[in-house]
Structure 1
Amino acid sequence: MKRKKLGNSNFNISAIGLGGMPLSLSGRPPESQAIAVIHRALDLGITLIDTADSYCEDQSDKHHNEHLIAKALQEYTGDIRAVTVATKGGLMRPQGAWTRNGNPHHLRKTIRESFEALGGNQPIDLWQYHSPDPAYTIEAALAPAKEAVEAGIIRFVGVSNFSVEQIKRARDVVEIVSVQNQYNPWHRQPESDGVLEYCEAENLTFFPWSPLGGSRRVTSLQDMPAIASLAAEKNVSVYCIVLAWLMAKSPCVVPIPAATKLSSIEDSVKAIEVKLTDEELQKIAAS
């Protein structure tokens, strides 16, 4: 598996990660299947696992995905020393909805809970502020993360769903190594809002969330002619083409496709070997 630096750090992460979200939402697979998917990802050389305190069914189930990943790592018989777990805080799940909570007292509490959920015996590898809450300044919301870094509870900090201006403000509070914004064939805003360009210039890792469009759109990839024809030409899935397209957009991009089946993560890893020419990239861009 190809490796990349995590931002400006000395940490190496796999060029493709595993998104853990659907392993803990409503309709999630049995725990044994979820753990098998995580183990298969590790077997394939994936060393980055993306999670969040809010990857759960509702508030009563908070931190479910973090507990699941910690259990999977504990039960894994291989070497996990290179594994990086990236989690997030700042969203709530009342009755299964998604709401923002940038209250510094809440973030301070949930950081500690994430630390415990992930094992409590080493710093959180990467903690990301999930989405800026307009009720609190970015400076106030990220103060608990800075405190946690200084206390040895968090190793690195990232942000999610941030604009360039918001990223700059965050970097004035604490060192930032990553940005996680939506990016897929239907949502290409990072190409035009300056975030992708900024991340590349500043050596920040860019994690595209929902890289395949999410559960409602992923099946529509086959209906996009440019992507479907390239998949047929290269004898790979449309999903591989999309992941290869994202990685070709910038060296700072590290996709984090989710998986609930072994076959899904096995397919995603194949994207590492798919090379797209400039002409093929332009074909996708025009679609």
Structure 2
Amino acid sequence: MDTRTLWSDGPAVGAIGLGCMGMSWAYGTDPNSDDPAAVIGRAVTLGMTLIDTSDVYGPFTNEELVGKALAGRRDEVTLATKGGLLANFHDDGTPDPTRIPYPDGRPEHMREAIDGSLRRLAVEHIDLYYLHRPDPKIPVEESIGVLADAVRAGKIRAIGVSEFSVEQLDRAQAVHPISAVQSEASLWTRDHLSTTLPWCEAHGAGFVPFSPLGRGFLTGAYRAAAFAPDDFRARNPRFRPENATANLAIVDAVEAIAATYDATAAQVALAWVLAQGEHVVPIPGTRRVARLEENAGAAGLTLSPADLAALDALPAPAGARY
């Protein structure tokens, strides 16, 4: 797989990375899932070397499975994790993946989070550590200051942030260079492409789109889907029947273009994301080796200017993001 330099003077990573969240969080269970270790191992072999997780996924279990899967292959990857979000729980004490986690950027929490991630991942350092969300109760400078201390201590190599506004990015940058910004971006979520992406380009930071396949919708696999209660998409506005029906027009257009390349809708959707900039590295998630290999194939797909323009012109989706 072709590589991209994630940030100025940063590591070369595969043009497409792997988001591991769905292996243990948010999307319920899948009886057809492959062993997560097999999926992660195959990703590394294919050159998808940006591996992304978070302490809130599970919570905590996702980092553990990623750490075990990378045992013996640590030096082959750029390992990214996040802290600063806390999971919601059911009344019986079990985690509730259908509710959006809430931020906790307190310095004392961030210090504990970094040490906990190192322990669960079983690594001596984390290549890229994100503040998972800004905490409206805590000044951004305080949370980023803890991450800067961790860089100086050798616990993390680079600092990232997720879902920050440009104003928050400027404030974070004033404390310590921000190496990567993670935000949702896809053919049906483009908000950050006109704000965050230009900021990244101006500051030599990588842009890491999560959910580049629209939580799976852009693959065309959910034309008539019924989600389990523990799958957060069951409550997501864009997947509600009235909105999903309208949003199929986007999928139809992507599939039509895919047919001209003998490609899949997923590959075209990812190729469009890759075309947004040379330091853009999307991290689609999957629980199946076959889908992983399909996603990897998008790195070799170059869309024509006319097709990129046609995709640019697609309508906004029906329904809010959350």
Matched positions, count = 277
- 1:80, distance to aligned residue in structure 2 (A): 4.3
Letter in 2 for 1:278: P
* Kept after mapping to 1: 8 A contact 2:55/2:117: yes
**Which aligned pairs between 1:4-23 and structure 2 lie closer than 5 A?**
4-23=4-23
- Aligned partners of 1:146 and 1:223: how far apart in 2? 45
Q: Does 1:94 align with 2:94?
A: no
Q: Does 1:256 align with 2:256?
A: no
Q: Which residue in the other structure is 1:214 paired with?
A: 215
Structure 2 unaligned segments of length 5 or more: list them. 90-95, 224-246, 315-322
* Kept after mapping to 2: 8 A contact 1:92/1:101: yes
Q: Deviations over 1:100-143 (max 9, x none)?
A: 111111111011100111114x2111100001010000001111
Q: Deviations over 1:166-214 (max 9, x none)?
A: 111111111211000111111110123x211121222211001111111
1:190 match: secondary structure: helix
Q: Deviations over 1:19-65 (max 9, x none)?
A: 00001116346897111111111121111101111111xxxxx3211
- Aligned partners of 1:253 and 1:22: how far apart in 2? 21
- 1:84, distance to aligned residue in structure 2 (A): 0.9
Equivalent residue in structure 1 for 2:68, among 67, 71, 75: 71
- Aligned partners of 1:256 and 1:32: how far apart in 2? 18
2:292 match: secondary structure: helix
Equivalent residue in structure 2 for 1:111, among 94, 111, 114: 114
Q: Does 1:2 align with 2:29?
A: no
* Kept after mapping to 2: 8 A contact 1:87/1:127: yes
Q: Tell me: higher relative CO, structure 1 or 2? Use CA pairs within 8 A at least 6 residues apart.
A: 2
**Which aligned pairs between 1:1-287 and structure 2 lie closer than 5 A?**
1-25=1-25, 27-28=28-29, 33-56=35-58, 62-74=59-71, 79-95=73-89, 96=96, 97=99, 98-120=101-123, 122-192=124-194, 194-215=195-216, 218=219, 219=222, 223-224=249-250, 225-287=252-314
Q: TM-score, normalised by structure 1?
A: 0.91
Runs of 4+ in 1 over 2 A off after TM superposition: 26-32, 215-226
- Aligned partners of 2:130 and 2:61: how far apart in 1? 17
- 1:226, distance to aligned residue in structure 2 (A): 2.6
- Aligned partners of 2:15 and 2:6: how far apart in 1? 10
* Kept after mapping to 2: 8 A contact 1:161/1:180: yes
2:25 match: secondary structure: coil
Q: Which residue in the other structure is 2:229 paired with?
A: none
Q: Could you say what the CA RMSD is over the residues aligned between the two structures, in angstroms?
A: 1.8
- 1:265, distance to aligned residue in structure 2 (A): 0.5
Check 1:10–1:187 CA distance in 2 against 1; reply closer, same or farther (3 A cut).
closer
- 1:82, distance to aligned residue in structure 2 (A): 2.7
2:55 match: secondary structure: coil
- Aligned partners of 1:174 and 1:202: how far apart in 2? 12
- Aligned partners of 1:84 and 1:285: how far apart in 2? 31
Letter in 1 for 2:174: D
1:207 match: secondary structure: strand
Identity of matched residues, %: 38
Structure 1 unaligned segments of length 5 or more: list them. 57-61
- Aligned partners of 2:46 and 2:108: how far apart in 1? 39
- Aligned partners of 1:162 and 1:264: how far apart in 2? 30
Q: Deviations over 1:235-286 (max 9, x none)?
A: 1110000100001111121010001001111000000111112111110011
- Aligned partners of 2:207 and 2:280: how far apart in 1? 5
Check 1:185–1:8 CA distance in 2 against 1; reply closer, same or farther (3 A cut).
same
Check 1:182–1:127 CA distance in 2 against 1; reply closer, same or farther (3 A cut).
same
- Aligned partners of 2:178 and 2:202: how far apart in 1? 14
